Structure 1
Amino acid sequence: MIYPITVYGDPLLRKVAQPIDKDFEGLNEFIENMFETMYHSDGVGLAAPQIGKSLRVFVVDASSAADEEPELEGFKKAFINPEILERTGDEWVMNEGCLSLPEIREDVSRPEHVKIKYLDENLEEHIEEYGGFAARVIQHEYDHLDGKLLIDHLNPLRKRLLKGKLTAITKGKVRTSYRIVLPGKK
């Protein structure tokens, strides 16, 4: 099932998501649907709040970047109830986009490495460390679980310059290859 993407302006994107209960019914199907939605939308990551669900889960598939970072070959994972334990290394800037902010791409600075504790789709706990692009995608999706968007990493002037584009998104005046849900239209 392909979910529509919740876009900027919806208050759900600004809320801290709730942990998934261990007896969450249909968890594997939910995760499969998230991956399907992410692929359909040409994303490399997708967090549950982006599909209108206030749950602490996100999926990533950064294997498309394996040409530049060979360790990303087959890097496809679900992160349930994740907790970033540590962010380390130098801050580095990369141009990021977000399915919930269509037609907006901005340079965002993030730490190079991340250590994260999470449950996989079988509810087995892992503590892992990632660097480079994998760390960036994880931090971007994790932000969604805490009600943050990539624009929150921008300086006030840059945010003001984006105001027109952000207003257009809330009114549905954007082009996407995927279905979106406008604020207040669920």
Structure 2
Amino acid sequence: MSKIREIAELGNPILRAIAQPVTKVHDQRIQQLIDEMLATVAPANGVGIAAPQLAESHRMFILASRPTLRYPHAPTMEPTAIINPHIIDRSDEMVKDWEGCLSVPGLRGLVPRNRAIEVEYTDRYGKLHQQEFSDFVARIFQHEYDHLEGIVFLDRVESTREIMSDREYQKQLVQHL
């Protein structure tokens, strides 16, 4: 059983650093980190987590869309390790939606993101993938990719008026269900 790791929070310098490429996907330490990321994201009610959020400077994250308390309408997908990702193409269409972050507890922000993206990444087995993502899964991918670039979602919010507490967000979410 992989251990659940502590999540780095806003203010930790690793969240503002550019993560280093993974050179040996099959290395035991990288494989163990993937397992620890998988073990950490689910109990935290996250739909993704990046290595820098576990204070590890590696260009990798878990993409794990599923309905949670934080995102009740999220589509379900198999949690996937995304290693050394590149965004190859982005749709011109931008969509604003509410985001939160395990590293920024208690806050939500209205963030503009590309509606669709085309990406390339390596999986945990060393296989190269090229894939298109859209809507919520594209949003997760872009959010986690930002972590690899030292960017947090608050950096993308266009106005401080588009930030609210997580508690208020939950109240408003319940009112709209």
Question: Unaligned stretches of 5+ in structure 2?
Answer: 166-177
Give runs of aligned pairs for residues 16-165 of structure 1, distance below 5 A: 16-22=18-24, 24-64=27-67, 68=73, 72-155=75-158, 158=160
Question: Unaligned stretches of 5+ in structure 1?
Answer: 166-186
Deviations 1:42-96 (A, max 9, x none): 1000000001001100002103279857xx4334211001111111141111110
Question: Secondary structure of 2:18's match?
Answer: coil
- Structure 2 distance, partners of 1:73, 1:18, is 29
With over 3 angstroms needed to count, the CA separation of the structure-2 counterparts of 1:54 and 1:67, relative to structure 1, is closer
In the alignment, structure 1 residue 5 sits paired with structure 2 residue 10: no
TM-score (norm 2): 0.82
- Structure 1 distance, partners of 2:28, 2:92, is 39
The alignment-based identity, stated in percent, is 34
Count matched residues.
159
- Structure 1 distance, partners of 2:52, 2:96, is 25
TM-score (norm 1): 0.78
- Structure 1 distance, partners of 2:86, 2:121, is 6
Ranked by relative contact order (alpha carbons within 8 Å, sequence separation 6 or more), the top structure is: 1
- Structure 1 distance, partners of 2:47, 2:104, is 14
In the TM superposition, structure 1's runs of 4+ consecutive aligned residues that sit over 4 Å from their partners are 65-69
